[in-house]
Amino acid sequence: MRGIPISIWQNRIVSWDLAILSNIVPLDADQALSAYWRLCDGEVWSEVLQPDGRIADFVREITARWPDINDVSDDQLDSCPWSIGLSPSPADVILCMRYDRVDVVAPVCVDTALRLGLNVFDPQAGVLHSPGQEPRAITPTPPEERICAECGRPIGQSESFGKHIDSEGWLHIGCLFRPKPGGTPRAGF
C-alpha cells in the first residue's frame, strides 16, 4: 500500500479531495482506498466499481449549488470551490476542492452523498463514510523497516537514527557515532 494519496502537481499539494463512490457493492475503507487509487491512476471505472445511478443524482445536486469549474465564466472563478473539473463516471466522481473552501463545501458533499446512499472516501484522513454507518478508517500502513547500514540490524521504531554525510543508508545513532577502529568518530550532522 502506498499510503494516503493527495493531489500533487509540481510537488505542491493543490487541492483537497473527496471521492464519491458507487454503493452497489458495499465497500470497506481499504477497498475504498484501493478504488480511489486505481481511479486516480487512470484505470477504467468499470474495472473498479459497479455503475450507480445515484452518482449522476449527486453531481446534479452538487453542481446546482456549485457549478463545475468548466461551466463558470472567468469572473465567477473566484467563487468556484472546485480546483479541477468534476469528470464523473457512472460509478464515481472525485471532487477536488480549494483549501479555503473545504470547511463549507466538504460537509455538504458528504451529507448529500450519504443521503443519496453513496460512499464518500476522504483520502486526507483515510476515512470512509457510508450511509447508516460510523466513519471507518483504513488499516494503518506499517512504517517502513529501516536496516542500519553499519551493523546490519533493524532500526527499531523507538530507536534514534541518522544519516552520515558520506553514506547512503540510515544508521543507529550509536553506530553513527561509534569510532572506527583506530579512527575518530565519523559523525556529524
Q: Which residues bind Zn ion (CB under 5 A)?
A: 148, 150-151, 172, 175
**Residues 171, 162 contacting (CB under 8 angstroms):** yes
Nearer to Zn ion, 85 or 169 (CB): 169
Helices (DSSP H) in the chain: which residue ranges?
29-40, 45-48, 54-65, 102-116, 173-177
Query: From the CB of 162, what's the least distance to Zn ion, in Å?
Result: 11
Which residue's CB is nearer to Zn ion, number 26 or number 185? 185
Smallest gap, in angstroms, from Cβ of residue 141 to Zn ion?
24
Nearer Cβ to Zn ion (85/174): 174
Minimum separation from the CB atom of position 175 to Zn ion (A): 3
- Short-list 126, 154, 119, 103, CA closest to 26: 119
* Rounded distance between C-alpha atoms, residue 36 and residue 165, angstroms: 39
Give the Cα-Cα-Cα angle 61, 30, 146 (nearest 5 degrees).
Answer: 135
Specify the residue, 142 or 152, whose C-beta has the smaller distance to Zn ion: 152
The crossing angle, in degrees rounded to 10, of helices 54-65 and 102-116 is 150
Quick one: 129 or 172, whose CB is closer to Zn ion? 172
Contact, 88 vs 21, CB < 8 A?
no
- What minimum distance in Å lies between the beta carbon of 148 and Zn ion? 3
Helix and strand totals (H; E) in the chain: 5, 11
We find the least distance from the C-beta atom of residue 159 to Zn ion, in angstroms, to be 9
